[in-house]
């Protein structure tokens, strides 16, 4: 079974530039998550989709971050304009559904450095 | 906000020894999960324990959950150098959307 795919794996940009990350979840998984992991910390949820609808985006900095999952499969996370503090790993994850007890599977992450 | 807090922050042991990591959380949960993260890699799911379970085993892993103390422990027996990684506990709570809240992790180093 193919895992959660993410790209690009690494990205270096200057502050105030924009960047986009792509995620392809495990086939058939209805729930998709984007997490932000700053070095030395645990992942923090940014946004959760159920199919193509947003379930929770309460911790997404909406002035600069946006995410979409148009057809209920792939998802894109965009940052515009980037700040130095956005340097982190952006982890995409998916699960079969939103019910408690479903295992959440993570991708390898997209590493962002803002200089 | 991060609900789980792992203890210790870092742990260094010799190969063959057992490693114990603890996690404390603040609010009631549906389940608690442990993940491993190798340096530069994504998170790998290790084990899930439900709120009505007290202990669970998977290979060399043993997880306990004490909901009265709001704490969990992860025991890795007969550690190997390949177990070197960061270990995170994550709690799932709430009646609605299912999402995980992670702690800051324990960095385990197993010395050959």
Cβ neighbour number for residue B64 with a 10 Å cutoff: 16
What per-residue confidence (pLDDT) applies to A72? 84
Asked if B104 and A41 come within 8 Å (Cβ–Cβ), the reply is: yes
Contact between A42 and B105 using a beta-carbon 8 Å cutoff = yes
Beta strands in A1-115 (DSSP E): 5-7, 10-13, 19-24, 31-37, 44-50, 53-56, 65-68, 75-79, 88-95, 105-106, 110-114
Measured CA to CA, the distance from residue A74 to residue A110 in angstroms comes to 15
Instruction: For B101, name the nearest residue in chain A, comparing CA atoms only.
Output: A44
Provide the b/e sequence for B65-101 (b: ≥16 CB within 10 Å).
beeeebbbbbebeebeeebbbbbbbbbbbeeeebbbb
One digit per residue, the tens of pLDDT, for chain A of length 115 reads 689 999 999 999 999 999 999 999 999 999 999 999 999 899 999 999 998 899 889 999 999 999 999 888 999 999 999 999 999 999 999 998 766 667 889 999 999 999 9
Min CA distance, A60 vs chain B (Å)? 13
CB contact under 8 A, A103 and B100: no
By Cβ distance, the residue of A40, A102, A107 closest to B42 is: A107
From first CA to last CA, the distance across chain A in angstroms is 37
β-partners of residue A111 are A10, A89
Strand partners, B34: B47, B89
DSSP 8-state assignment for residue B97: S
Helix (H, G, I), strand (E, B) or coil at A37: strand
Nearest CB to B45: which of A43, A97, A105? A105
Q: Which of B31, B41, B92 sits opposite A108 (nearest CB)?
A: B41
Which letter does DSSP use for residue A104 in this model? P
User: Which residues from chain A sit within 8 angstroms of residue B44, using beta carbons?
Assistant: 106
**Residue-level length of chain B:** 112
Cα separation values, B65 from A31, A56, B29, B73, Å? 27, 28, 11, 7
Rg of chain B over CA atoms, in angstroms?
13
pLDDT in tens, B20-73: 999 999 988 888 999 999 998 889 999 999 999 999 999 999 999 999 999 999
CA A22 to chain centre: 8
CA distance linking residue B92 with residue B29, whole number of Å: 6
Partner-chain contact B97 A108, CB within 8 Å: no
Tokens of residue A50, six digits: 């159920």
As given in the structure block, the two tokens for residue A55 are 């379930």
The answer to whether the peptide bond before residue B8 is cis (omega within 30 degrees of 0) is: yes
- Read off the pLDDT of residues A86-107 as tens digits, 9 standing for 90 and up: 999 999 999 987 666 678 899 9
CA pair distance B106, B88, nearest whole angstrom:
7
């Amino acid at each position: 079974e193919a895992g959660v795919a993410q790209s690009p794996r690494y990205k270096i940009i200057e502050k105030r530039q924009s960047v986009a990350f792509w995620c392809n979840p495990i086939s058939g998984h209805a729930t998709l998550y984007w997490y932000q992991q700053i070095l030395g910390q645990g992942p923090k949820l940014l946004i959760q989709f159920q199919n193509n609808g947003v379930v929770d985006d309460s911790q997404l900095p909406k002035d600069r971050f946006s995410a979409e999952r148009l057809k209920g499969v792939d998802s894109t996370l965009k940052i515009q304009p980037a700040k130095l503090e956005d340097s982190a790993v952006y982890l995409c994850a998916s699960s079969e559904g939103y019910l408690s007890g479903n295992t959440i599977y993570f991708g390898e992450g997209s590493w962002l450095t803002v200089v | 906000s991060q609900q789980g807090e792992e203890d210790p922050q870092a742990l260094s042991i010799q190969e063959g020894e057992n490693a114990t990591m603890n996690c404390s959380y603040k609010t009631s949960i549906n389940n608690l999960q442990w993940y491993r993260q190798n340096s530069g890699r994504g998170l790998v799911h290790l084990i899930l324990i439900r709120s009505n379970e007290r202990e669970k085993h998977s290979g060399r892993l043993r997880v306990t959950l004490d909901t009265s103390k709001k704490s969990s422990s992860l025991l890795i027996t007969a550690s190997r150098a390949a177990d070197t990684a960061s270990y995170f506990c994550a709690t799932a709570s709430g009646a609605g959307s299912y999402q995980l809240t992670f702690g800051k992790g324990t960095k385990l180093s197993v010395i050959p």
